[in-house]
Copies of this chain bind each other. A is one copy, B any other.
Amino acid sequence: MKKHIEKIKILFEALPYIQKFYGKTVVIKYGGNAMVEDELKKSFARDIVLMKYIGINPVIVHGGGPQIKGMLARLGMQSKFVEGIRVTDADTMDVVEMVLGGKINKEIVGLINHFDGRAVGIGGKDGGLIKGKSVKIRGHVMGHAGDVEEINPEVIRSLEDSGFIPVIAPIGGDDGGVSYNINADLAAGHIAAALKAEKLILLSDIKGVMDKNKKLLPNLSVSEAKSLIKKKVATEGMVPKLNCCIEAVGNGVGSAHIIDGRVEHAVLLEVFTDAGIGTVIKQKKGK
């Protein structure tokens, strides 16, 4: 009995957070190890189901780089990268769509449903959710590597109204029927802004944003984040993540978080603890 009471007391430590985020939308970019290791996958799916049941509306946007790389290798196809972005020709785009939309997206759906959530997986072309456009980098035409032109969140609203959890593959389309491979962080940021989400959470294989001494910065204002980029303290991989957070917060998202997906229950730790984990970026400093 005593043990049970102890556990119930711990339940109550969650109550203020439940009340704080009740009815709010949280957009989560899901990627990295959290999408690969079995225990982390399960812990993530359970985090999402728990969030839904206690009144939070999670929206998941996932990546899939390693799996795409694996399939390209199996098919004997090679990729060229410019500034970290894959030059995506038509054949590669096909593989991207299959792996992201057919395999990974449905795996996540299956995992969430296995824990009695009710997920529905869609891509950015469904219901015109993500209108994409091609990206150019210093003159290089990047093929199907795309940017977000516009978000039309109606299909997300429709699924949420029926109690489903949307799981989104970041593939955009344009009016001409061309597909675009869009960076998952970027897509998540735009979707969070379109939904005026309470939180944008980027789940990656890093502890968060580091200062020049490699010490974690738990807490950044938008202007501090900009300064880190300007002063080149932020690493090459971190710069797009920071920019994505800066834009989301600038477009009405409550706070943006860069957290470590290698930690079990990373999402819930962020939502349900005062200190949070990783780095939070807000208009003004403070969790």
Let me know if A118 and B114 touch, CB within 8 A: no
Q: CB of A265 within 8 A of chain B? A: yes
Picked from B97, B125, B277, the residue with its CB within 8 Å of the CB of A113 is: B125
Residue of B nearest to A268 (CB): B8
Picked from B11, B19, B128, the residue with its CB within 8 Å of the CB of A10 is: B11
Let me know if A162 and B155 touch, CB within 8 A: yes
Q: CB of A173 within 8 A of chain B? A: yes
A1-23 CB contact bits vs B (8 Å, 1 = yes)? Answer: 10011011111111100110010
Name the B residues within 8 Å of A66 (CB-CB). Answer: none
Measured as residues with beta carbon below 8 angstroms from the partner, the interface class of chain A is: 35 or more
Q: CB of A65 within 8 A of chain B? A: no
Q: Give the complex CA separation of A157 and B125 in angstroms.
A: 20
Q: CB of A110 within 8 A of chain B? A: yes
Name the B residues within 8 Å of A263 (CB-CB). Answer: 1, 5
Within A82-120, the residues touching B (CB, 8 Å) are: 94, 97-103, 105-106, 109-111, 113-116, 118-120
Chain A contact residues, CB within 8 Å of chain B: 1, 4-5, 7-15, 18-19, 22, 46, 49-50, 53-55, 71, 74-75, 94, 97-103, 105-106, 109-111, 113-116, 118-123, 125-128, 154-155, 157-159, 161-162, 164, 171, 173, 175-177, 179, 263-265, 268-269, 272-273, 277
Let me know if B173 and A162 touch, CB within 8 A: no
Given contacts A158-B162, A162-B154, contact A50 B11 (CB under 8 A): yes
Name the B residues within 8 Å of A116 (CB-CB). Answer: 19
Let me know if A114 and B162 touch, CB within 8 A: no
Let me know if B11 and A175 touch, CB within 8 A: no
Picked from B115, B155, B272, the residue with its CB within 8 Å of the CB of A120 is: B155
